[in-house]
A and B are shown apart, each in its own frame.
Chain A
């Protein structure tokens, strides 16, 4: 047995097909908006006035920030503010931002559920619930289970994603560095309580999933769809054979699995091919997805593919998770070689650690800006795809040194089709982060004034919609 890491050999399903030769930049499929029938089918609040689908994206990176270098300098009113070092790369998109200060992750509080702050922060970020009890051991030895509710992205996915080939995409950039197996500090999206959704860390896999059928001729794709349906139909019949014969607990699992296959069948039916204006990106080369040296390239690829997937309406909901809570990664491309979690624990008096951390967070801001700029480059009617999207940049802590979860360093961008009033820096004083999740669900026509654990929510954020 040898442990040399094999380079991936892909005998992909493209061997079935005669793929078209490589392609250029992504352009929108939806130059003129959704067709009338799609408009008619769409639930209220999920399509913009111009007829384009609304989208939701989250970008995550862990271990808190350095507040001194993060928060803008406030001016005369909420529209008058200056970005400091960390957010400086976002200057060109400043008018698209809402920077809400004073948000506390109350649903991740130490007295309301099990786990240590990294665990609690991850589980509560998008679910708004304290963690389940469980056996994941945290950095300080405390124990916790999974997140305990459906995450915001999945809730929105259920509302906006019924007709897209993918309900949502979870993409990762070394999102599993803490443990080789899935655990609470490495997951953000949840299909429901205790049902985490794993991110895809390898851009090649993502490309294969999203685009390998994309460059097929329409007639070939029709044949492929028919073929896959015949295979999955036989598989579904096999489920029916055993469901009745299985034990009680097993039947529940089988039915859950079967539901996912039926869903896959429907989504495969909605797969698209390159049209007049929608092209797959160039196929990425093979990466070792767990190498620290290639993180910047992998992140770029993941952003590019997510933006393309949204421009082509393959999905309307996506997340990019950079690393995971309590990571220990280094940023060699910034010549920042400290262990991430250790650095985050250095106080502001440690100037070397502070400088490294600011450099790292500022680099993440550059990537966030790249995502926004890429969305903004896609013209949709009178506006751009960024106008029709709400993007959030999130973290499971506010300050690594103290494991604090007050003053969460969140940034929102894009107006979700004019729903949000952007270009503001607002200091809310001590409001629960579930409120921000409420605001975002409201932007998609989910009218409820509560999200997550009702003990930790007081309604939507004020002054932004």
Chain B
């Protein structure tokens, strides 16, 4: 046991902080203990009881989180941020990355404009929710602030923080009216850093030291991971009672939260980013080659995938099912396109098991991984390599014009692409991409199953190469076979786990996350259950502890 006394002290200190998230009234000079060296594990350390956790940077709410949080805080449901705020700068595919999603002058201006719209809406439509009293006086103003602030800041406010809003309210009441005072307070609250950032303070903590995440902070981490929104009243109750301190307490809460419908929206938000599904929005299809296509299908495909993700996560939330289910969800518009009987919106169809197996062969995914005029073996191969296997493909040479070939009415897609990628200098990389992508030749440019293309029998033979697990390598025939083979692959599970870890922590895995990430991966590889994965992440050391930020930005 290598538990040092220093570590124990720090851990206890963390709990203490959690217990008294209380004001430092006279914050003239804040005492900061001497910095300590942040602990970075080596592989061997992961077998010990030692605790390691990364430095958590505060995270600015994304557009999606902002709209959700405004809805849950003020009862105003509107896509203010989605419509107006500039897009996040995503790194590793995730919008919530703490290093890349930052404010800029335009966003700061939009916060002001949005706040004015929101406060009007809130005071005009949500008075009973926001005002615990009917007297239009200062006492009622204070009551409103006392009710609002702990939820908006997602922790008890300090007296000094509250005082600023009391003063704003009082001053406004003197020169204007009660409604205006209430509106101004809301506007100032939702432009405050305590609202906009998911922030874990470091006051009185040694830089580089390890501290336990407080129950309030844990409530925030959990709610933004699972719901992409603020904690609900139950989470706040647990936080107030400091009942998010043990692994068991955290697990129980995660399992409760996953039952909430908000979790489905949160999962979709993850899938949308993990699988780059926003590309659906800018996708085009050639109307001459696909006369059955219409623009409404963009939204229909999106809905179809949303329904599939929801189905998996509510009915059989495990990776094997996600990769192999023959369920497809379609509205009438899509059903006609895919030769099924229209049965209205979000109707579930059990497709032939010879034709469809899971996420990879979903019509929407195959349509997405296509060019405007034909299916794309290249996009499909890259998708499997990068999204499902987390492999980074080496770049092709600089001086080659990278263009998909035009379709040929007398040749199959396979033939057209084969000539294209046999060029010297291309073949090396395409050896990794094409044998997988060509295995999806049974799906045309809009994701329809086919056995004949341009008068020739479809050849959907493919090969898996360059995997970690050599037993998975080898030839296969068609998308169903490759999807089924990958449904049990450890490296696919590791890849999914890594994406979830990145999303949940708000940063790609850092050195200090090593042991936690390994444990999470091991648990998910074993069970394949998405619920177990959520629990594994939430109970991992790097989620329950944090290293206090040190001065050097890049020190991990």
- Residues of chain A at the chain B interface (Cβ within 8 Å): 1-6, 8-13, 15-16, 110, 116, 134-135, 138-143, 167, 170, 176-183, 191, 195-200, 202, 205, 208-209, 227-228, 230-232, 234-235, 237-239, 241-242, 244-250, 252-254, 256-257, 260-261, 263-264, 290, 328, 330, 339, 342, 345, 401-403
Contacts and interface: CB of A to CB of B under 8 A. Distances in A.
Contacts of B474: none
Interface stretch (B4-12, B107-115, B512-520): B107-115
Nearest to A182: B89
Given A139-B402, A181-B95, A257 B281 contact: no
Nearest to A250: B58
**Residue among B24, B160, B200, B395 with max Cβ neighbours from chain A (10 Å):** B395
Contact of B104 (A178, A191, A228): A191
B302 interface: yes
Interface string B388-425: 00000111101111111000000000000000000000
A302 to B, nearest CB: 15
B171 A209 contact: no
23 contacts: A1-B268, A2-B303, A6-B79, A12-B113, A16-B120, A141-B395, A142-B395, A179-B278, A180-B87, A180-B90, A182-B90, A195-B104, A200-B86, A241-B158, A241-B160, A246-B58, A247-B58, A247-B548, A252-B553, A256-B103, A261-B108, A263-B105, A403-B401
Contact of B24 (A2, A141, A245, A345): A245
Interface in B79-124: 79, 83-84, 86-92, 95, 102-109, 112-113, 115-117, 120-121
B302 to A, nearest CB: 5
Given A11-B120, A140-B402, A245 B201 contact: yes
B488 interface: no
Contacts of B113: 12-13, 208-209
Contact of B395 (A4, A140, A209, A237): A140
List 9 tightest A-B contacts by C-beta distance, closest first. A247-B549, A198-B86, A180-B278, A181-B90, A247-B202, A141-B395, A234-B188, A238-B192, A245-B203
Given A2-B303, A11-B117, A183-B89, A234 B193 contact: no
B45 interface: no
Contact of B401 (A177, A182, A402): A402
B52 interface: no
A260 B105 contact: yes
B340 to A, nearest CB: 20
Contacts of A342: 403-404
Interface string B181-194: 00011011001111
A202 to B, nearest CB: 8
A228 B111 CA distance: 12
Contact of B171 (A116, A134, A230, A261): A230
B172 interface: yes
Contacts of A263: 105
Most buried by A among B115, B188, B268, B429: B188
B164 A241 contact: yes
B306 interface: yes
A329 to B, nearest CB: 9
B202 A246 contact: yes
Given A140-B396, A249-B553, A260 B87 contact: no
B265 interface: yes
Contacts of B91: 134-135
Contact of A330 (B105, B117, B284, B303): B284
A330 B282 CA distance: 11
Given A6-B79, A290-B282, A182 B395 contact: no
Interface of chain A: mostly helix, strand, loop or mixed: loop
B278 A230 contact: no
Contacts of A198: 86-87, 104, 106-107
B299 interface: yes
A330 B283 CA distance: 12
A244 B204 CA distance: 10
Contacts of A252: 553
A328 B299 contact: no
A16 B121 CA distance: 12
Contacts of A141: 393-396, 429
Interface string B163-184: 0110110011000100010001
A324 to B, nearest CB: 11
A248 B165 contact: no
A238 B103 contact: no
A228 B183 CA distance: 11
Given A116-B395, A181-B278, 5 more contacts: A4-B299, A12-B113, A245-B24, A250-B202, A328-B282
Contact of A244 (B86, B120, B203, B393): B203
B550 interface: yes
Nearest to B396: A140
Nearest to A224: B116
A183 B306 contact: no
B296 to A, nearest CB: 10
Given A182-B90, A246-B199, A257 B193 contact: yes
Contact of A339 (B84, B120, B372): B372
A442 B176 CA distance: 50
Contacts of B89: 181-183, 196
Interface string B259-286: 0000001001000000000110110100
B378 to A, nearest CB: 11
B457 interface: no
B549 A200 contact: no
Contacts of A234: 164-165, 167-168, 184-185, 188
B43 interface: no
A288 B528 CA distance: 41
Contact of A230 (B27, B168, B265, B402): B168
A235 B108 CA distance: 12
A232 B104 CA distance: 16
B292 interface: no
A200 B106 contact: yes
Contacts of A209: 109, 113
Contact of A264 (B105, B171, B199, B398): B105
A346 to B, nearest CB: 9
Contacts of B78: 9
A139 B402 CA distance: 8
B57 interface: yes
Given A141-B394, A234-B188, A235-B192, A345 B106 contact: no
B226 to A, nearest CB: 16
A180 B105 CA distance: 20
A248 B86 CA distance: 27
B19 to A, nearest CB: 17
B506 interface: no
A264 B188 contact: no
Nearest to B158: A241
B403 A264 contact: no
Contacts of B268: 1
A177 B282 CA distance: 7
Contact of B116 (A16, A256, A339): A16
Interface string B371-394: 010000000000000000000011
A5 B399 CA distance: 41
A138 B176 CA distance: 55
B207 interface: yes
B88 A260 contact: no
Contact of A241 (B161, B284, B400, B404): B161
Given A241-B161, A260-B104, A182 B86 contact: yes
Given A245-B203, A264-B105, A232 B112 contact: yes
Nearest to A143: B395
A234 B116 CA distance: 15
A248 B38 CA distance: 14
B30 interface: yes
- Candidate in A170, A179, A228 with the most chain B CB atoms within 10 angstroms: A179
Contact of B112 (A16, A177, A264): A264
Contacts of A235: 188, 191-192
